[in-house]
Homo-oligomer: A and B are copies of this chain.
Protein backbone atom coordinates (compact mmCIF):
# COMPACT_ATOMS: atom_id res chain seq x y z
CA UNK A 1 0.00 0.00 0.00
CA UNK A 2 1.56 3.26 -1.16
CA UNK A 3 -0.19 6.20 0.40
CA UNK A 4 0.59 9.58 1.84
CA UNK A 5 -0.38 9.09 5.46
CA UNK A 6 0.94 8.55 8.94
CA UNK A 7 -0.67 5.75 10.98
CA UNK A 8 -3.54 4.14 9.01
CA UNK A 9 -5.82 4.23 12.06
CA UNK A 10 -5.36 8.01 12.35
CA UNK A 11 -6.28 8.82 8.80
CA UNK A 12 -9.82 10.07 9.45
CA UNK A 13 -8.73 12.10 12.45
CA UNK A 14 -5.89 13.77 10.56
CA UNK A 15 -7.90 14.32 7.42
CA UNK A 16 -10.67 16.03 9.43
CA UNK A 17 -8.14 18.15 11.22
CA UNK A 18 -6.54 19.08 7.89
CA UNK A 19 -9.89 20.06 6.39
CA UNK A 20 -10.88 22.10 9.41
CA UNK A 21 -7.56 23.95 9.51
CA UNK A 22 -7.26 24.47 5.77
CA UNK A 23 -10.80 25.78 5.43
CA UNK A 24 -11.33 27.50 8.74
CA UNK A 25 -12.95 30.38 6.92
CA UNK A 26 -15.86 28.06 6.07
CA UNK A 27 -16.03 25.21 8.60
CA UNK A 28 -14.96 24.27 12.10
CA UNK A 29 -14.71 21.05 14.00
CA UNK A 30 -17.27 20.65 16.77
CA UNK A 31 -15.19 20.00 19.87
CA UNK A 32 -13.42 16.69 19.49
CA UNK A 33 -16.36 15.07 17.68
CA UNK A 34 -16.36 13.62 14.19
CA UNK A 35 -18.40 16.59 13.01
CA UNK A 36 -17.46 19.54 10.79
CA UNK A 37 -20.04 22.32 10.98
CA UNK A 38 -20.26 25.52 9.01
CA UNK A 39 -19.28 28.83 10.53
CA UNK A 40 -22.35 30.46 9.04
CA UNK A 41 -25.05 30.43 11.67
CA UNK A 42 -28.32 30.13 9.75
CA UNK A 43 -30.27 31.03 12.85
CA UNK A 44 -33.93 30.04 12.78
CA UNK A 45 -33.49 27.88 9.70
CA UNK A 46 -33.75 24.12 9.37
CA UNK A 47 -30.33 22.53 9.69
CA UNK A 48 -29.33 20.13 6.92
CA UNK A 49 -26.85 17.39 7.69
CA UNK A 50 -25.34 14.42 5.97
CA UNK A 51 -22.49 12.03 6.51
CA UNK A 52 -21.40 8.46 6.23
CA UNK A 53 -18.21 6.52 5.99
CA UNK A 54 -15.06 8.46 5.08
CA UNK A 55 -13.21 7.92 1.83
CA UNK A 56 -15.69 9.74 -0.41
CA UNK A 57 -14.06 13.16 -0.18
CA UNK A 58 -14.97 15.90 -0.95
CA UNK A 59 -18.28 14.34 0.16
CA UNK A 60 -19.59 15.12 2.70
CA UNK A 61 -17.69 17.89 4.46
CA UNK A 62 -16.82 19.56 1.17
CA UNK A 63 -20.48 20.52 0.85
CA UNK A 64 -20.84 22.14 4.26
CA UNK A 65 -21.43 25.86 4.12
CA UNK A 66 -23.99 28.56 3.58
CA UNK A 67 -26.60 27.40 1.09
CA UNK A 68 -25.80 23.73 1.44
CA UNK A 69 -25.14 21.42 4.41
CA UNK A 70 -25.04 22.74 7.98
CA UNK A 71 -22.78 19.96 9.19
CA UNK A 72 -21.27 16.67 8.09
CA UNK A 73 -20.35 13.66 10.20
CA UNK A 74 -17.38 11.44 9.41
CA UNK A 75 -17.44 7.67 9.97
CA UNK A 76 -14.34 5.54 9.76
CA UNK A 77 -13.25 4.75 6.24
CA UNK A 78 -16.19 3.09 4.47
CA UNK A 79 -17.93 2.62 7.84
CA UNK A 80 -21.07 4.41 8.89
CA UNK A 81 -20.65 6.93 11.71
CA UNK A 82 -22.07 6.01 15.11
CA UNK A 83 -25.37 7.41 16.42
CA UNK A 84 -23.74 9.58 19.07
CA UNK A 85 -21.63 11.28 16.41
CA UNK A 86 -24.60 11.77 14.12
CA UNK A 87 -26.42 13.21 17.11
CA UNK A 88 -23.53 15.66 17.57
CA UNK A 89 -24.08 16.78 13.99
CA UNK A 90 -27.79 17.18 14.64
CA UNK A 91 -27.10 19.31 17.72
CA UNK A 92 -24.60 21.44 15.81
CA UNK A 93 -27.07 21.94 12.98
CA UNK A 94 -30.11 22.68 15.05
CA UNK A 95 -30.88 26.39 15.05
CA UNK A 96 -34.36 26.09 16.42
CA UNK A 97 -36.25 24.86 13.37
CA UNK A 98 -35.21 21.21 13.46
CA UNK A 99 -32.78 19.19 11.42
CA UNK A 100 -33.15 17.35 8.13
CA UNK A 101 -30.82 14.41 7.47
CA UNK A 102 -29.77 13.21 4.02
CA UNK A 103 -28.90 9.52 4.40
CA UNK A 104 -27.40 7.32 1.73
CA UNK A 105 -29.11 3.96 1.58
CA UNK A 106 -26.81 1.57 3.39
CA UNK A 107 -28.13 -0.47 6.29
CA UNK A 108 -25.45 0.86 8.61
CA UNK A 109 -26.06 4.49 7.69
CA UNK A 110 -29.81 4.16 7.97
CA UNK A 111 -29.64 2.45 11.37
CA UNK A 112 -27.15 4.87 12.88
CA UNK A 113 -28.90 7.98 11.59
CA UNK A 114 -32.26 6.69 12.77
CA UNK A 115 -30.87 6.09 16.24
CA UNK A 116 -29.47 9.59 16.25
CA UNK A 117 -32.92 10.84 15.34
CA UNK A 118 -34.34 9.01 18.36
CA UNK A 119 -31.69 10.54 20.58
CA UNK A 120 -32.37 14.02 19.21
CA UNK A 121 -36.12 13.73 19.53
CA UNK A 122 -35.70 12.59 23.12
CA UNK A 123 -34.00 15.96 23.64
CA UNK A 124 -36.75 17.84 21.88
CA UNK A 125 -35.09 18.43 18.52
CA UNK A 126 -37.36 17.82 15.53
CA UNK A 127 -35.69 15.57 12.98
CA UNK A 128 -36.77 14.30 9.60
CA UNK A 129 -34.79 12.63 6.84
CA UNK A 130 -34.66 11.27 3.32
CA UNK A 131 -32.77 8.26 2.04
CA UNK A 132 -31.03 8.52 -1.33
CA UNK A 133 -31.00 5.43 -3.54
CA UNK A 134 -29.86 6.76 -6.87
CA UNK A 135 -27.63 3.83 -7.87
CA UNK A 136 -29.67 1.73 -10.27
CA UNK A 137 -26.81 -0.64 -11.07
CA UNK A 138 -28.29 -3.42 -9.04
CA UNK A 139 -31.94 -3.95 -9.77
CA UNK A 140 -34.24 -2.89 -7.01
CA UNK A 141 -36.85 -5.62 -7.16
CA UNK A 142 -34.41 -8.33 -6.18
CA UNK A 143 -33.34 -6.76 -2.94
CA UNK A 144 -35.70 -5.62 -0.33
CA UNK A 145 -33.07 -3.28 1.08
CA UNK A 146 -33.20 -1.29 -2.10
CA UNK A 147 -30.50 0.51 -4.00
CA UNK A 148 -27.38 2.31 -2.87
CA UNK A 149 -27.05 6.03 -2.39
CA UNK A 150 -24.16 7.38 -4.47
CA UNK A 151 -23.06 10.51 -6.36
CA UNK A 152 -26.56 11.77 -7.12
CA UNK A 153 -26.84 12.53 -3.42
CA UNK A 154 -24.92 15.77 -3.94
CA UNK A 155 -27.83 17.15 -5.99
CA UNK A 156 -30.04 16.50 -2.97
CA UNK A 157 -27.59 18.34 -0.71
CA UNK A 158 -27.54 21.29 -3.05
CA UNK A 159 -31.23 21.60 -3.79
CA UNK A 160 -32.41 20.98 -0.23
CA UNK A 161 -29.61 23.26 0.99
CA UNK A 162 -30.90 26.04 -1.20
CA UNK A 163 -34.38 25.71 0.21
CA UNK A 164 -33.22 25.33 3.80
CA UNK A 165 -31.31 28.58 3.32
CA UNK A 166 -34.50 30.16 1.97
CA UNK A 167 -36.29 29.12 5.15
CA UNK A 168 -38.15 25.96 4.11
CA UNK A 169 -39.62 23.92 6.97
CA UNK A 170 -38.80 20.30 7.78
CA UNK A 171 -42.07 19.28 6.18
CA UNK A 172 -41.37 21.23 3.01
CA UNK A 173 -37.90 19.73 2.72
CA UNK A 174 -39.32 16.26 3.16
CA UNK A 175 -41.94 16.86 0.47
CA UNK A 176 -39.32 18.27 -1.89
CA UNK A 177 -37.03 15.31 -1.32
CA UNK A 178 -39.84 12.96 -2.23
CA UNK A 179 -40.28 14.68 -5.58
CA UNK A 180 -36.57 14.91 -6.21
CA UNK A 181 -35.25 11.48 -5.37
CA UNK A 182 -36.99 9.46 -8.10
CA UNK A 183 -35.61 11.78 -10.77
CA UNK A 184 -31.94 11.13 -9.95
CA UNK A 185 -30.24 7.98 -11.26
CA UNK A 186 -26.61 6.90 -11.27
CA UNK A 187 -24.43 4.07 -12.50
CA UNK A 188 -20.70 3.74 -11.86
CA UNK A 189 -17.86 1.84 -13.43
CA UNK A 190 -14.41 0.88 -12.16
CA UNK A 191 -11.04 0.32 -13.79
CA UNK A 192 -9.07 -0.30 -10.60
CA UNK A 193 -9.93 -0.75 -6.92
CA UNK A 194 -9.33 1.42 -3.88
CA UNK A 195 -7.38 0.43 -0.79
CA UNK A 196 -8.87 1.08 2.65
CA UNK A 197 -5.82 2.24 4.68
CA UNK A 198 -6.53 -0.01 7.66
CA UNK A 199 -7.00 -3.03 5.40
CA UNK A 200 -3.92 -2.30 3.33
CA UNK A 201 -5.04 -4.27 0.29
CA UNK A 202 -7.44 -3.69 -2.63
CA UNK A 203 -11.12 -4.29 -1.94
CA UNK A 204 -11.53 -6.27 -5.19
CA UNK A 205 -9.50 -7.28 -8.18
CA UNK A 206 -9.80 -6.55 -11.87
CA UNK A 207 -7.60 -7.95 -14.62
CA UNK A 208 -5.41 -5.55 -16.61
CA UNK A 209 -7.92 -5.51 -19.45
CA UNK A 210 -11.13 -5.67 -17.42
CA UNK A 211 -13.58 -3.07 -16.21
CA UNK A 212 -16.67 -3.48 -14.08
CA UNK A 213 -20.00 -1.76 -14.63
CA UNK A 214 -22.22 -0.94 -11.70
CA UNK A 215 -19.58 -0.90 -9.01
CA UNK A 216 -20.49 0.82 -5.73
CA UNK A 217 -18.57 3.59 -4.00
CA UNK A 218 -17.24 1.09 -1.45
CA UNK A 219 -16.20 -1.32 -4.17
CA UNK A 220 -19.46 -3.28 -3.90
CA UNK A 221 -19.78 -5.61 -6.88
CA UNK A 222 -21.48 -4.31 -9.99
CA UNK A 223 -23.56 -6.05 -12.61
CA UNK A 224 -21.05 -6.89 -15.30
CA UNK A 225 -17.37 -7.39 -15.95
CA UNK A 226 -16.25 -6.79 -19.50
CA UNK A 227 -13.04 -6.19 -21.43
CA UNK A 228 -11.76 -2.63 -21.55
CA UNK A 229 -13.72 -0.79 -24.22
CA UNK A 230 -13.76 2.68 -25.78
CA UNK A 231 -15.21 5.53 -23.77
CA UNK A 232 -18.05 5.79 -26.27
CA UNK A 233 -19.13 2.24 -25.54
CA UNK A 234 -18.93 2.75 -21.77
CA UNK A 235 -20.94 5.95 -22.07
CA UNK A 236 -23.58 4.24 -24.16
CA UNK A 237 -23.88 1.26 -21.81
CA UNK A 238 -24.54 3.50 -18.82
CA UNK A 239 -26.49 6.22 -20.59
CA UNK A 240 -28.96 3.77 -22.09
CA UNK A 241 -29.74 2.30 -18.69
CA UNK A 242 -30.18 5.70 -17.05
CA UNK A 243 -32.25 7.03 -19.91
CA UNK A 244 -34.57 4.06 -19.71
CA UNK A 245 -34.92 4.29 -15.94
CA UNK A 246 -35.75 7.99 -16.16
CA UNK A 247 -37.94 7.43 -19.23
CA UNK A 248 -36.17 10.27 -20.99
CA UNK A 249 -37.87 11.67 -24.06
CA UNK A 250 -36.97 14.18 -26.72
CA UNK A 251 -37.41 17.64 -25.29
CA UNK A 252 -36.58 16.67 -21.73
CA UNK A 253 -34.03 18.65 -19.72
CA UNK A 254 -31.47 16.92 -17.58
CA UNK A 255 -28.58 17.77 -15.30
CA UNK A 256 -25.46 15.71 -15.96
CA UNK A 257 -22.84 14.75 -13.41
CA UNK A 258 -19.71 12.87 -14.41
CA UNK A 259 -18.13 12.01 -11.10
CA UNK A 260 -14.54 10.85 -10.81
CA UNK A 261 -13.91 8.10 -8.27
CA UNK A 262 -10.66 9.60 -6.96
CA UNK A 263 -7.98 8.10 -9.19
CA UNK A 264 -9.36 9.10 -12.59
CA UNK A 265 -7.75 12.09 -14.29
CA UNK A 266 -9.97 14.90 -15.53
CA UNK A 267 -8.65 14.12 -19.01
CA UNK A 268 -10.63 10.87 -19.01
CA UNK A 269 -13.65 12.41 -17.35
CA UNK A 270 -13.88 15.07 -20.07
CA UNK A 271 -13.47 12.54 -22.86
CA UNK A 272 -16.30 10.58 -21.26
CA UNK A 273 -18.59 13.57 -20.77
CA UNK A 274 -18.05 14.46 -24.40
CA UNK A 275 -19.43 11.05 -25.35
CA UNK A 276 -22.34 11.40 -22.94
CA UNK A 277 -23.30 14.82 -24.28
CA UNK A 278 -23.24 13.38 -27.81
CA UNK A 279 -25.71 10.69 -26.79
CA UNK A 280 -28.01 13.24 -25.17
CA UNK A 281 -27.91 15.35 -28.33
CA UNK A 282 -28.85 12.39 -30.47
CA UNK A 283 -31.88 11.83 -28.26
CA UNK A 284 -32.75 15.50 -28.32
CA UNK A 285 -32.43 15.72 -24.58
CA UNK A 286 -30.94 18.98 -23.40
CA UNK A 287 -28.17 19.15 -20.78
CA UNK A 288 -29.29 22.16 -18.78
CA UNK A 289 -26.23 21.90 -16.55
CA UNK A 290 -23.17 19.65 -16.65
CA UNK A 291 -20.75 18.96 -13.84
CA UNK A 292 -17.47 17.09 -14.20
CA UNK A 293 -15.00 16.21 -11.46
CA UNK A 294 -14.41 14.35 -8.22
CA UNK A 295 -17.51 14.84 -6.08
CA UNK A 296 -18.18 11.49 -4.43
CA UNK A 297 -15.09 9.37 -4.61
CA UNK A 298 -14.05 5.94 -3.46
CA UNK A 299 -10.60 6.88 -2.11
CA UNK A 300 -8.28 6.31 -5.09
CA UNK A 301 -10.50 4.04 -7.14
CA UNK A 302 -10.03 4.47 -10.89
CA UNK A 303 -13.40 4.85 -12.50
CA UNK A 304 -16.32 7.20 -12.63
CA UNK A 305 -20.06 7.38 -12.36
CA UNK A 306 -22.65 9.07 -14.48
CA UNK A 307 -25.66 10.69 -12.84
CA UNK A 308 -28.61 12.11 -14.70
CA UNK A 309 -31.27 14.17 -13.02
CA UNK A 310 -34.47 14.76 -14.95
CA UNK A 311 -35.51 18.36 -14.50
CA UNK A 312 -39.20 17.81 -13.81
CA UNK A 313 -39.26 21.17 -12.16
CA UNK A 314 -37.21 23.99 -13.69
CA UNK A 315 -36.84 25.57 -10.25
CA UNK A 316 -34.46 22.75 -9.34
CA UNK A 317 -31.98 24.19 -11.80
CA UNK A 318 -32.01 27.57 -10.08
CA UNK A 319 -31.43 25.83 -6.79
CA UNK A 320 -28.45 24.00 -8.29
CA UNK A 321 -27.03 27.15 -9.83
CA UNK A 322 -27.37 29.36 -6.77
CA UNK A 323 -23.98 30.35 -5.35
CA UNK A 324 -22.87 28.71 -2.12
CA UNK A 325 -19.94 29.09 0.23
CA UNK A 326 -18.49 25.58 0.57
CA UNK A 327 -15.14 23.91 0.09
CA UNK A 328 -15.99 21.82 -2.92
CA UNK A 329 -19.23 22.65 -4.73
Task: Report the bound CA distance from A271 to B290 in whole Å.
Answer: 30
Query: A264's contact among B11, B22, B300, by CB below 8 Å, is which?
Result: B300
In the complex, what residue of chain B is closest to A272 when comparing beta carbons? B4
**Docked complex Cα distance between A19 and B293 (Å):** 11
Within the complex, the shortest CB–CB distance from A189 to chain B, in Å, comes to: 8
Cross-chain contact of A302 among B58, B300, B304 (Cβ < 8 A): B300
Question: Which of these, B208, B258, B290, contacts A23 with CB under 8 Å?
Answer: B290
Q: Does A232 contact B (CB under 8 A)?
A: yes
Contact of A267 among B57, B258, B270 (CB under 8 A): B57
Q: Which of A1-45 contact B (CB under 8 A)?
A: 2-6, 11, 14-19, 21-23
Interchain nearest-CB distance for A199 vs B (Å): 14
Complex partner residue of A270 from B19, B194, B230, B299, CB under 8 angstroms: B19
- When distances are taken between beta carbons in the complex, the residues of chain B under 8 Å from A302 are 2, 263, 300
Interface residues of A in 49-65 (CB under 8 A from B): 54-55, 57-58, 62
Task: Tell me the bound Cα distance from A92 to B312 in angstroms.
Answer: 38
Q: How far is the CB of A238 from chain B (nearest CB, A)?
A: 11
For residue A303, give the distance in angstroms from its CB to the closest CB of chain B.
Answer: 8
Q: For residue A273, which residues in chain B have a CB less than 8 angstroms away from its CB?
A: 18, 21-22
Q: How far is the CB of A202 from chain B (nearest CB, A)?
A: 13
Which range contains the number of A residues in contact with the other chain?
Answer: 35 or more
- A228-B2 contact given A11-B267, A57-B265, A292-B22, CB 8 Å threshold: yes
A127 within 8 A of B: no
A226 at interface, CB cutoff 8 A: no
Question: Which residues of B lie under 8 Å from residue A114 when comparing CB positions?
Answer: none
**B268–A14 touching, CB < 8 Å:** no
Name the distance in Å between A321's Cβ and chain B's nearest Cβ.
9
Closest residue on chain B to residue A24 by CB atoms: B290
Pairwise interchain contact B57-A11, C-beta atoms closer than 8 A = no
User: Interface digits, A284-305 against B, CB 8 Å rule (1 contact, 0 not)?
Assistant: 0001001111100101101010
Contacts of A17 in B (CB 8 A): 274
CB-CB contacts below 8 Å: A105-161 with B:
none
Bound: A268/B18 CA distance, A = 10
Copies in the complex: 2
CB distance from A49 to the nearest CB of B (A): 20
Q: Is A277 an interface residue (CB 8 A)?
A: yes
Q: Are B22 and A267 in contact (CB under 8 A)?
A: no
Interface contact A264-B4, CB-CB below 8 Å:
yes
Name the residue on B nearest A304 (C-beta). B4
Extra pairs beyond A5-B231, A6-B231, A18-B292 (19, CB < 8 Å)? A3-B268, A4-B264, A4-B272, A4-B304, A5-B268, A14-B275, A15-B270, A15-B271, A18-B269, A18-B271, A18-B277, A21-B287, A21-B290, A22-B290, A57-B265, A57-B267, A264-B300, A266-B297, A268-B300
Some 22 contacts from A to B, beta carbons below 8 A apart, are: A2-B302, A4-B191, A4-B268, A4-B271, A5-B231, A5-B268, A6-B231, A14-B231, A15-B274, A17-B274, A18-B271, A18-B274, A21-B277, A21-B287, A22-B277, A22-B287, A23-B290, A55-B267, A262-B266, A263-B263, A263-B302, A265-B297
